[in-house]
Amino acid sequence: MDWGLANRMARMFSPKSENTVMLAVDHGYFMGPTHHLEDARATIAPLLPHADALALTRGILRRAVPPSATTPIVLRVSGGVTVLHEDLSHEAITTSMAEALRLNVSAVAMSVFVGAPHEHESLVHLGDLVSEGETAGMPVMAITAVGKELEKRDARYLALACRVSAELGAHIVKTYYCENFGKVVEGCPVPLVVAGGPKLDSDRAALELAHRAIEEGAHGIDMGRNIWQSDHPVAMLKALRAIVHEKATVNEAHDILVAEKNHPHSTVAPATA
């Protein structure tokens, strides 16, 4: 890995825990004004100091994040299809590497649709993006999108999608937690981060998901709805940090959540990266 690319990776992953807490706020690129993300600036502002990286599109970066922010940016560069379309896999690259460099981001991200109608184009786009990323010193995160066919979220499918993404050169792979997640980790030679998916029944369920993912080898999370659709987003993010960076148990993380909920400016120190 060349110095520039390694330096960008190091901005996002803690040298101590080797993990990262990415905050995902890129949902609007195909879902529109998602619940609790309608005013992205208001949602992002209190969470920004507690995230190791912020994952979003160029439109929201320019409009909702102050240029003085020092949080590393993971820029989504794929899109072109909305939830109104049956086939979500018809994505293309919508933001250039030149723009990613101009925006001074720490990584670019795109969805890959393994097994979907546009699998071939999607994987070729990933290969091309990685080639550009290697030239520019820009890490590429592949997002193993599962489209509308959620039943595909099993270890066999996700292991295939993650491994193929890594083989094509992705530097980070974002995927979903599933039963036998260890199999997905085992077959993927680059760091895996885990998305949360739709809001779970409780904050505790999201903490449990993150805890299992880290225990089974994920190098962090890239979570959105289970943080900013929670009634206590900052408390939730701090609790997740404890799991990702400090190996906190679910009960310990839940105690942080409760303490932060009751005393938002309490002495519970944000976990250091």
How far apart, in whole angstroms, are the C-alpha atoms of residue 74 and residue 51?
12
* Distance in Å, CB of 76 to ligand 5RP, minimum: 7
Nearer Cβ to ligand 5RP, position 1 or 42?
42
**Of 16, 148, 152, 174, catalytic:** 174
Q: Which residues bind ligand 5RP (CB under 6 A)?
A: 24, 26-27, 55, 143, 195-197, 222-226
Give 23 or 248: the residue with its C-beta nearer to ligand 5RP: 23
| Minimum separation from the CB atom of position 195 to ligand 5RP (A) | 4
Residue bearing tokens 């799991």:
243
> Going along the chain, which residue ranges are E strands?
20-24, 53-56, 73-76, 78-79, 92-93, 107-112, 140-144, 172-176, 192-195, 220-223
- Min separation Cβ 2 and ligand 5RP, Å: 27
CB nearer to ligand 5RP: pick between 36 and 254 = 36
Whether the CB-CB separation of 224 and 24 falls below 8 Å is answered with yes
Instruction: Look up 16 and say whether it is catalytic.
Output: no
Nearer to ligand 5RP, 235 or 268 (CB): 235
Residue 262: CB minimum distance to ligand 5RP, A: 25
CB atoms within 10 A of CB 272: 10
Task: List residues with catalytic annotation.
Answer: 174
